[in-house]
Amino acid sequence: MLTTLSLFAILAAAAIPAGVHLGFRAPRLREIGTPADAGLDFEAVRIPTVRRRSLFGWLIPAADSTRTLVVLHGWGGNAELMLPLASPFQQAGFNVLLFDARNHGESDADTFSSLPRFAEDLGMAIAWLKRHHPGRAGCVAVLGHSVGAGAALFEASRNPDIAAVISIAAFAHPARVTKASVRHLHLPAPIVYGVIRYVEWLIGHRFDSIAPMNTVTRISCPVLLVHGRADRVVPVDDARLIHAHSSGTHVGLLEIDGADHDSVDRIEDHVGALLGFLEHQCALAVPAPG
């Protein structure tokens, strides 16, 4: 006969997978506009990624530019939400490639979304750019927001084609995010532990291996961590923790007063600092003409 504790364990084991897939499913927000609405010329593209899926994206060219900024949105976002940041970079002479991760925007669906899958898609977007637009890939920098920022840091820790990273509102460790997201449910600690272990099994990575506070220690290219001091989703302390774990002076931290998690307008006010960072890194990565 089953004890009460054994029955509880069986029910928990059955409920955790269903709860994870339902509770952590990324909402899909499709684009309703295009870069043309911001006065930008663009090419709509499809980028092949892993598992025979493809990604939707926009390539916004800058005349005769060998520098490209690849932009990755956050959880439940899409390329259109990142457009306000694309315009000033394009005007400054950077090609800009924006794309939707799987299960987001107009990209193909897949079984689930995760930070590693965001990173896979980012890597495939960079590979596509180098293959189909080699003249624009002399210096490839990446800008990611939230989960996209964590993915950018993870990909930069293993991809030598990335010359620089701008990370906006990255969390320090996925376990901290997971615990915060279920705190309102008042789950017993063993259930929360089970959720974390199930997600690790599902995505094929231990959280410690993909946590930005750890991947940043494996990145050799320059990194600029950008975070709003008023972020109510990912506290600015996460950025400080990532910065504290970084090794070397190639990782900088820019804190923005009054910026919440999705305050793109506040980030735009400091785009000069972001541009200065990329201008310097790409000047080092790409030899000057002549």
In terms of DSSP bridges, do strands 95-99 and 139-145 run parallel, antiparallel, or are they unpaired? unpaired
Residue 228 one-letter amino acid: G
Give the side-chain half-sphere CA count within 13 A for 210: 25
CA–CA separation, 58 vs 98, rounded Å?
Answer: 5
Q: Are strands 95-99 and 54-60 parallel, antiparallel or unpaired?
A: antiparallel
pLDDT of residue 286 exceeding 70, the answer is: no
Question: What is the mean pLDDT of the segment spanning 211-230?
Answer: 97
Q: Which fold has domain 36-173+211-285?
A: Rossmann fold (3.40.50)
Q: Where are the domains of the chain?
A: 36-173+211-285, 174-208
pLDDT of 175 over the 50 cut: yes
- Give pLDDT tens digits for 140-154: 999 999 999 999 999
Q: What is the pLDDT of residues 3-52, one digit of tens each?
A: 544 434 443 444 556 555 555 688 999 999 999 999 999 999 999 999 99
**Statement: residue 2 has pLDDT above 50:** no
Task: Report phi then psi at 72, rounded to 5.
Answer: -125, 125
Phi and psi at 20, nearest 5°, equal -65, -50
Contacts of 241 (CB under 8 A, 6+ apart): 172, 213
Give the whole-number percent of the chain exceeding pLDDT 90. 77
- pTM of structure: 0.91
Q: 225 is written with which tokens?
A: 């961590």
Question: What is the reported pLDDT for 17?
Answer: 64
Average per-residue pLDDT for the chain = 90
Q: What confidence tens digit (pLDDT) does each residue in 43-85 have?
A: 999 999 999 999 999 999 999 999 999 999 999 999 999 999 8
The confidence score (pLDDT) of residue 8 equals 42
